[in-house]
Amino acid sequence: MADAPEYDIRHIEHPNPVPSATREQAIADPGFGKLFTDHMVRIDWHEDKGWHDARLMARGPIELDPSASVLHYAQEIFEGLKAYRHADGSLALFRPEENARRFNRSAARLAMPDLPEEAFLGAIRALVLKDRDWFPSVEGGSLYIRPFMIATEAFLGVRPAKEYAFMVILSPAGGYFKSGAPAISIRLGEHYTRAAPGGTGFAKCGGNYAASLVPQGEALASGHDQVVFLDAVERRWVEELGGMNLFFVFEDGRMVTPPLGDTILAGITRDSILTLAREEGLDVVEERYAIDQWRADAESGKLVETLACGTAAVVTPVGKVTAEDYSFEIGSGGPGQLTQKLRERLVGIQTGTVEDRHGWITKLG
Ligand SMILES: Cc1ncc(COP(=O)(O)O)c(C=O)c1O
């Protein structure tokens, strides 16, 4: 940041931070996504000025003109990552530069300006250090980091806006699962697709998630945890869950995950699992996998595990899949051995109990 003075962050004093006793009580049971820390970072972009006016200030409502493009044409992108606490009390990020890169791939697809990686990372570093007292006191807790960018220009024409705001907020989060991950049950989203070729599936834009709410809601209403989407062209190839990537593990030591393209989000957990599974000696391939094959392999016992992965729940076993006319169980229907092992390795690296041999950890101090 020293050689990029335009991203120097101005600290504006918070007039009224949450009293420490209230904060301590809140972080003892933070849940997910409903508790927020005292501060936020904001950097503005203007067509003539570029990125400017980086500031760290009190978190609070933002003022937006009712005609702002984000409210009408959904020019919005976001990221999600976590800060972890290591045994020495330091805070650490897991592969945050990958989030910065994915943010810019999303920005390019949504016709939004590129944000220099050092601005993205500098904003996160400053905010996490400022609000480090908000780190949850519960076992397995983390500080969930939500960087996002919105189009703020007041203009109703359908074209890329000329003004944007990049912001970062933090949400203390409890452990997703208390002891290991229970197997989840998923519903095949037969009547919906998530992403079409040429569309925005690979981008982390709000619109993708708005479109997933009905299928996800139907999955929940029928007693399932998540919806799984098939490809939009043949309605045959398994793509991903509403917010997690998938891996299929076979009895012969093969592991398959759907290949990246423009319809699947390039999960950072997915990429890390590819590396860790190969280190475990598995033969991991990125290859299309059909829903009928998934069912046949589960029924024949060739498929021994299916795991879903993402920042929020890390690695979660899939125990059961239900479609309109059939359902099938995977393995014993509970967590498989490889799923457990990969989860422990990954959580260990993130929390500092397993050696970081890949340079995935950024210590914040
Ligand atoms: C659609 C979708 N797929 C996959 C993932 C997993 O990505 P990551 O491992 O980077 O959290 C997410 C979560 O960000 C997601 O929203």
CA of 156 to the centre of ligand 1 (A): 31
Q: Which two tokens stand for residue 247?
A: 């891996």
Average pLDDT over residues 36-59: 98
Question: Considering the chain, what is the average pLDDT of its residues?
Answer: 95
**Ligand 1 proximity of 313 Cβ (cutoff 6 Å):** no
Candidates 210, 204, 222; CA nearest to 321 is 222
Statement: residue 3 has pLDDT above 50: no
Q: Please, is 364 exposed, middle or buried when counting C-beta atoms within 10 Å of its C-beta (0-12, 13-18, 19+)?
A: middle
pTM of the shown model: 0.96
Other Cβ atoms within 10 Å of 58 Cβ, number: 13
Statement: residue 64 has pLDDT above 60: yes
> Which atom belonging to ligand 1 lies closest to the Cα atom of 271?
9
Question: Considering only 114-128, 172-186, 349-363, which range has the smallest mean pLDDT?
Answer: 172-186
Statement: residue 4 has pLDDT above 50: no
CA of 309 to the centre of ligand 1 (A): 8
pLDDT of residue 270: 98
Task: Give 278-318 pLDDT, tens digit per residue.
Answer: 999 999 999 999 999 999 999 999 999 999 999 998 999 99
CA of 241 to the centre of ligand 1 (A): 9
Q: Where are the alpha helices (DSSP H) in 133-205?
A: none
Task: Give 198-248 pLDDT, tens digit per residue.
Answer: 999 999 999 999 999 999 999 999 999 999 999 999 999 999 999 999 999
**Ligand 1 proximity of 267 Cβ (cutoff 6 Å):** yes
**Ligand 1 proximity of 201 Cβ (cutoff 6 Å):** no
Q: Give the start-to-end residue ranges of the domains of the chain.
A: 2-173, 184-351
- Residues with Cβ within 8 Å of 62's Cβ and at least 6 positions away in sequence, in order, are 42, 165, 167
Instruction: State the fold for domain 2-173.
Output: D-amino Acid Aminotransferase; Chain A, domain 1 (3.30.470)
> Which atom belonging to ligand 1 lies closest to the Cα atom of 245?
4
- Residues with Cβ within 8 Å of 252's Cβ and at least 6 positions away in sequence, in order, are 302
CA distance 216 to 241: 9
Tell me which CATH code domain 184-351 carries. Answer: 3.20.10.10
Statement: residue 2 has pLDDT above 80: no
Average pLDDT over residues 129-152: 96
CB-based contact 146:96 (threshold 8 Å): no
